[in-house]
């Protein structure tokens, strides 16, 4: 898919891809998330994601929810360490309706006090629910281990004490400081002419006063590998092994994606899945992941297993990483690994919503979007020796941190 771009006078960027589907998608992404919070604001980026739907200058919460749902559409949002996103799915004839709604909730929310109180209870319940899921909670605790005393290491939900004390003034202060117009992307996919997209974007988003970013994010601090065990009342032991990794601008990131996919990607033929689950029956879930950010990245391997099998499973994980450090992939192994990743990316890009959100994020950090063929060329250029270098960089046990729930 070819994406066209346009920048409004206030700095907001417009990105659009045209297809032939009756269904269309659009989103607003701002380059602001958990890592942009001050100490007293822990959890406010995610809190804003919730309360942004609770009332505007012209709509109450019910009217916001109904605006797209009345015509069969959907409205949703999410928060990450570095982004806050509101996105919608709808029939293409309702594109104007969706654009106006996103503008209204993103730039004209009023944050009624009554709604703030109700949503605080919702998030407090969400925090309790999260604590009941050790296989999810351990990822947040692991990032806190990797980034101690830094906003990047904080969990996205925040703490109960912080949530309870947030005010409308706190929300507006975070938005004023971080929702900068040159850090906002409006991205859409649908059977809509680009000229119409630009015209509607100018009509609504062009009304927003310029607010360019002047402050820099807190630099990532130095830290040494850590090993931590936490007592939990769980049947299984849960474990994460990993480290800081390559950022979005690092030329090694594509190779790292391929290497992570070989080690513990979603395929049932990943090395960790074969070693722990298929050959030995030690774990139901084992996975490796790599997440690059603007100035850092996170690599991790997660597995959960019966306490009696934990040491054996742990040894197998280290053995697979050691193998990738010491033995280069054969010609056929490398060909298969590349084809698998290329196929996975092609299938993922067939989901227009995922494609839109990925295009928005890519535009945010690179101000350009690689085509699938360009990404495939980069994957095809990877050699076995290159993967061996990355493996020795990232899988060295002396550089790995470990978190265990026992």
In whole angstroms, what is the distance from residue 34 CA to residue 147 CA? Answer: 13
Report pLDDT digits (tens) over 116-161.
Answer: 999 999 999 999 998 889 999 999 999 999 999 999 999 999 999 9
Is the distance from CB of 49 to CB of 84 less than 8 angstroms? yes
pLDDT at 26: 98
Average the pLDDT over 22-27 and give the result.
Answer: 98
**pLDDT (0 to 100) of residue 291:** 97
Does the pLDDT at position 174 exceed 90? yes
Q: Backbone phi, then psi, for 89, in 5-degree steps?
A: -125, 140
- Residue 235 pLDDT more than 90? no
The predicted pLDDT at position 233 comes to: 84
Is 1:355 a contact under the CB 8 Å cutoff?
yes
* C-alpha pair distances (Å), 347 with each of 85, 152, 336, 341, 353: 23, 31, 16, 10, 12
Tell me, what DSSP letter sits at residue 109? B
- Smallest CA-to-CA distance from 158 within 50, 236, 45, 53 is with 45
- The residue-averaged pLDDT of 296-310 equals 96
In the numeric block, the tokens 């009941």 are attached to 132
Please give the C-alpha separations between residue 338 and each of 245, 333, 342, 382, 388, in angstroms, as whole numbers. 21, 9, 6, 9, 15
* Tokens of residue 225, six digits: 């590998």
pLDDT higher than 90, residue 191: yes
CATH of 227-405, one of 3.30.830.10, 3.40.190.10, 3.40.50.150, 3.30.70.270: 3.30.830.10
- Does 345 score more than 90 pLDDT? yes
Do residues 96 and 200 make contact, with C-beta atoms less than 8 angstroms apart?
yes
CATH 3.30.830.10 positions along the chain are 3-207, 227-405
pLDDT score recorded for residue 220: 94
Q: Given this model, what pLDDT does residue 1 score?
A: 87
Q: Where are the alpha helices (DSSP H) in 205-300?
A: 253-264, 271-272
Is 286's pLDDT higher than 90? yes
How far is Cα 363 from Cα 4, in angstroms, rounded to an integer?
A: 11
Render 55-79 in DSSP notation, one character per residue.
BBSS-BHHHHHHHHHTTT-EEEEEE
Among candidate residues 210, 117, 200, the one with its CA nearest the CA of residue 166:
117
Radius of gyration of the chain (CA): 22
How distant is the alpha carbon of residue 253 from its chain centre? 16
- To the nearest 10 degrees (0 to 180), the angle between helices 310-326 and 253-264 is 140
Confidence of residue 203 (pLDDT cuts 50, 70, 90): very high
**Does residue 54 have a pLDDT over 90?**
yes
Q: What rounded mean pLDDT belongs to the chain?
A: 96
Q: Which of 282, 365, 274 is nearest to 30 (CA)?
A: 365
Q: What CATH number should be reported for the domain whose range is 3-207? A: 3.30.830.10
From 256, 287, 265, 251, select the one nearest 347 (Cα to Cα).
Answer: 265
pLDDT per position as a tens digit, 37-53 = 999 999 999 999 999 99
Query: Closest by alpha carbon to 154, among 258, 81, 245, 230?
Result: 81
Residues ≥6 apart with Cβ < 8 Å to 129? none
Torsion, Cα 320 325 331 332, to 10 degrees, reads 10
Measured between its terminal Cα atoms, the distance across the chain in Å is 47
E-strand ranges in 249-380 read 283-292, 297-306
Mean pLDDT confidence for 322-337:
97
pLDDT above 90 covers a percentage of the chain that reads 96
Residues 371-387, mean pLDDT to the nearest whole number:
95
Give the pLDDT of residue 250: 96
- Predicted model pTM: 0.93
Q: Strand 227-230 relative to strand 401-405: parallel, antiparallel, unpaired?
A: parallel
Distance CA 147, CA 223 (A): 7
> Would you place residue 300 in the very low, low, confident or very high pLDDT band (cuts 50, 70, 90)?
very high
């Amino acid at each position: 898919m070819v994406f066209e771009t346009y920048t409004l006078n206030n700095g907001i960027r417009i990105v659009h891809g045209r297809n032939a589907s009756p269904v269309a998608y659009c989103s607003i992404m701002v380059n602001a998330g958990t890592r942009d919070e001050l100490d007293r604001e822990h959890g406010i980026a995610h809190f804003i994601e919730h309360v942004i739907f609770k009332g505007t200058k012209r709509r109450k919460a019910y009217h916001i929810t109904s605006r797209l749902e009345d015509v069969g559409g959907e409205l949703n949002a999410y928060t990450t360490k570095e982004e806050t996103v509101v996105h919608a799915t709808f029939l293409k004839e309702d594109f104007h309706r969706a654009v106006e709604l996103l503008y209204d909730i993103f730039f004209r929310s009023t944050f009624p006090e009554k709604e703030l109180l109700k949503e605080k209870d919702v998030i407090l319940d969400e925090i309790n629910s999260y604590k009941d899921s050790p296989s999810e909670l351990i990822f947040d605790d692991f990032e806190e281990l990797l980034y101690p005393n830094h906003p990047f290491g904080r969990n996205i939900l925040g703490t109960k004490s912080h949530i309870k004390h947030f005010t409308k003034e706190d929300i507006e202060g975070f938005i004023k400081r971080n929702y900068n117009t040159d850090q906002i992307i409006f991205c859409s996919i649908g059977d809509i002419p680009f000229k119409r997209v630009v015209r509607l974007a100018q009509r609504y988003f062009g009304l927003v006063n310029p607010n360019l970013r002047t402050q820099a994010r807190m630099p990532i601090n130095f830290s040494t590998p850590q090993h931590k065990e936490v007592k939990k009342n769980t049947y299984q032991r849960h474990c994460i092994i990993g480290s800081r990794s390559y950022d979005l601008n690092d030329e090694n990131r594509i190779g790292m994606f391929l290497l992570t996919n070989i080690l513990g990607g979603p395929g049932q033929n990943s090395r960790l899945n074969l070693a722990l689950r298929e050959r030995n029956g030690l774990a139901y879930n084992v996975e490796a992941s790599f997440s690059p950010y603007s100035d850092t990245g996170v690599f991790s391997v997660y597995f959960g297993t019966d306490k009696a099998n934990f040491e054996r499973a742990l040894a197998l994980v280290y053995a697979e990483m050691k193998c990738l450090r010491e033995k280069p992939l054969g010609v056929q192994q490398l060909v298969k690994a590349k084809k698998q990743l290329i196929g996975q990316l092609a299938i993922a890009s067939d989901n227009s919503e995922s494609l839109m959100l990925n295009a928005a994020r890519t535009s945010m950090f690179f101000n350009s979007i690689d085509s699938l063929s360009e990404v495939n060329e980069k994957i095809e250029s990877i050699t076995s020796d290159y993967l061996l270098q990355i493996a020795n960089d990232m899988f060295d046990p002396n550089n790995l941190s470990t978190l265990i729930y026992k």
